[in-house]
Amino acid sequence: MQFLKLTAMALLAAGPVGAQQVPTSMSLEDAIGLARRNNPAYLQAINATRRAGNAVRNAYGAFLPSASTSLGASYRQGKPQFFAGMAFGSNSDMLSSSWGLNLNLGLSASTFANLRRSQQNEDAAGADARTTEQALVTGITQQYLLVLQTAARAALQDSLVISNRLQLELATAKAGVGSATSLDVMRAEVAVGQQQVAALRARNLADVATLQLFQQIGVPKPDSVLLTSRFDVTEPALQVGPLIEMARQSNPTLAGLHFRERAAQTGYRAAQGAYLPSLSASASFGGFSQQYTDANYLVNQASAQTASGRANCFTTDSIRRGAGLPGITAQCSAIQFTDAQASAIRASNNNFPLKFASNPYSLSLGLSLPLFDGFSREVQLQDAAATKQDASYQVRAQELKLTADVTSAWTTLVAGYRAFRLQEQNAGAARAALDLAQERYRVGLNSLVDLQQARSDFAQAETDRIDALYEFHRSYAALENAVGHPLR
């Protein structure tokens, strides 16, 4: 996964597709590297790995408390409200503000299972990206070989055009001295025309194959490009048994299914965890501020309360003196509302908006165990068990398919090597027969029909040799794709 993350970063740093510089000469390795930077399907697979990585980070985040905060302000008109015939509220407009911080954490068996499942899904996404990359490499290789094959066939047809023109010149010369008929000249002219049509079609097929190659790469086709890679044919020294074992270890499709099987097993354990208790914790903190818009509202209240207390004190003093008790006139006279008190009250009112008084904080911790939920847990458990079994069946099916694919690709490769060697011999014999027919026609021992038949036999044999050559290399690429690992 680290390699895939670095690859994704490199691809993102490579810039937009339109900015890619397409070389005028390109090897197979160059084509594959260019496709890795520009092929849309592969880039989407890389993005899928990034999304899977985000899911893992989200699963880790479930072990951290969720936090929310609030900050607010309000205004209340200075007008009392009446309830049950009694007035409540102040006669001064009031401003208030508050803040709060809430922390919540919940842990259960599914929290741990989701983390593990997210990690396995991330591994599966990485395997999918490698599968897409392997398919991309195989597709580019196959198309690169097809371009070389069609180019070789086009070159063969071009050479046959030249050969037919020489044959026409020879037939014309022989007709001029009476050793050939005008029919031979007309037949040679028809052969030249037919060969020109065949060369034109072969060149068109080569151009279309080149266009399709750059379509797979993901960049526009340049005006001209030279493919520089060449492929030798050597007898494959491979055994099917070790190849199958290598495929079981390296094939990314099978690896992805294994990861999904493990994720399904984790999902089954998560469904079992629904029968276990869950833990929850929370904490809450906050503050509050309040300010009257009339700065003298609280001063007037305090002044009125002081005056009321002074009057009550003098009343008590009169009652005491009337009862013959000592007076408290000095104490009552000391009850005064001073300017310092008024200033302190005005200062204490200046709280809005950020001079908060702390609210009591709260902490809670709970443990819950569901007892009955209408058989929902049982249904989820059975679904998870079926999903786990399906994942196992998919792995088994892919293993069987992989064995068949590797075996068939290996037998096709071996047969392709033998077919190429036979076609190589056939092409050599056809070349020798054509040379002999040309010489015999030149000295008058063969007819033009014999020479044209020899040339047709050579064209077919050489075409078959070219096809066998690139079919062998395509078989090699197909085997590497089935194994999931380079073999050359």
The answer to the question of residue 312 being in a domain is yes
In this prediction, residue 87 carries a pLDDT of 65
Q: What is the DSSP letter of 293?
A: S
In this prediction, residue 88 carries a pLDDT of 67
Beta strands 81-83 and 86-88: pairing type? antiparallel
Q: Which two tokens stand for residue 18?
A: 């339109």
- Using only the alpha carbons of the chain, give its radius of gyration: 46
Identify the domain containing residue 344 by its residue range.
73-107+278-368
pLDDT in tens, 259-271: 999 999 999 998 9
Beta strands 94-107 and 81-83: pairing type? unpaired
The answer to the question of residue 147 being in a domain is no
The answer to the question of residue 291 being in a domain is yes
CA distances from 289 to 93, 156, 274, 345 (A): 14, 93, 45, 15
pLDDT in tens, 192-231: 999 999 999 999 999 999 999 999 999 998 888 899 999 9
Domain count, the chain: 1
pLDDT band at 379 (very low <50, low <70, confident <90, very high): very high
**What type of residue sits at position 481?**
N
Percent of the chain with pLDDT over 70: 94
CA distances from 197 to 160, 253, 392 (A): 11, 45, 56
pLDDT band at 487 (very low <50, low <70, confident <90, very high): confident
Measuring CA to CA, which residue among 23, 21, 19, 17 is closest to residue 38? Answer: 17
pLDDT in tens, 35-57: 999 999 999 999 999 999 999 99
Q: How far apart are CA 117 and CA 264, in angstroms?
A: 8
Q: How far apart are CA 22 and CA 34, in angstroms?
A: 8
Q: Which two tokens stand for residue 265?
A: 């097993």
Measuring CA to CA, which residue among 108, 193, 194, 128 is closest to residue 368? Answer: 108
Q: Which residues contact 271 (CB under 8 A, 6 or more apart)?
A: 377, 380, 381, 383, 384, 385
- The backbone region for 375, taken as left when phi is positive above 0, alpha when psi lies in -120 to 50, beta otherwise, is left
pLDDT in tens, 65-97: 999 999 999 988 887 777 766 766 677 888 999
Contact 172, 185 (CB under 8 A): yes
Q: How far apart are CA 304 and CA 296, in angstroms?
A: 12
The answer to the question of residue 90 being in a domain is yes
pLDDT in tens, 343-367: 898 888 888 888 888 889 999 999 9
Q: What is the DSSP letter of 446?
A: S
Contact 225, 22 (CB under 8 A): yes
Q: How far apart are CA 291 and CA 90, in angstroms?
A: 12
pLDDT band at 466 (very low <50, low <70, confident <90, very high): very high
**Tokens 């670095």 appear where?**
6
Q: What is the DSSP letter of 359?
A: P
Measuring CA to CA, which residue among 224, 154, 152 is closest to residue 196? Answer: 154
Burial 252-278 (b: 16+ CB within 10 A, else e): bbbbbbbbbbbbbbbbbbbbbbbeeeb
The answer to the question of residue 336 being in a domain is yes
Contact 93, 293 (CB under 8 A): yes
Residues in the chain: 488
Name the packing angle between helices 376-442 and 252-272 (round to 10°): 180
In this prediction, residue 84 carries a pLDDT of 66
The answer to the question of residue 350 being in a domain is yes
Q: Which residues contact 483 (CB under 8 A, 6 or more apart)?
A: 243, 246, 247, 250, 251, 406
User: Beta partners for 290?
Assistant: 96
The answer to the question of residue 282 being in a domain is yes
Average pLDDT over residues 316-335: 86
- Neighbour tally for 318: CB within 10 Å: 12
pLDDT in tens, 134-176: 999 999 999 999 999 999 999 999 999 999 898 888 889 888 8
Q: How far apart are CA 254 and CA 203, in angstroms?
A: 41
Contact 155, 131 (CB under 8 A): no
Q: What is the mean pLDDT of the chain?
A: 89
The answer to the question of residue 252 being in a domain is no
pTM of the model: 0.76
Measuring CA to CA, which residue among 357, 277, 261, 341 is closest to residue 309? Answer: 341
Contact 368, 284 (CB under 8 A): no
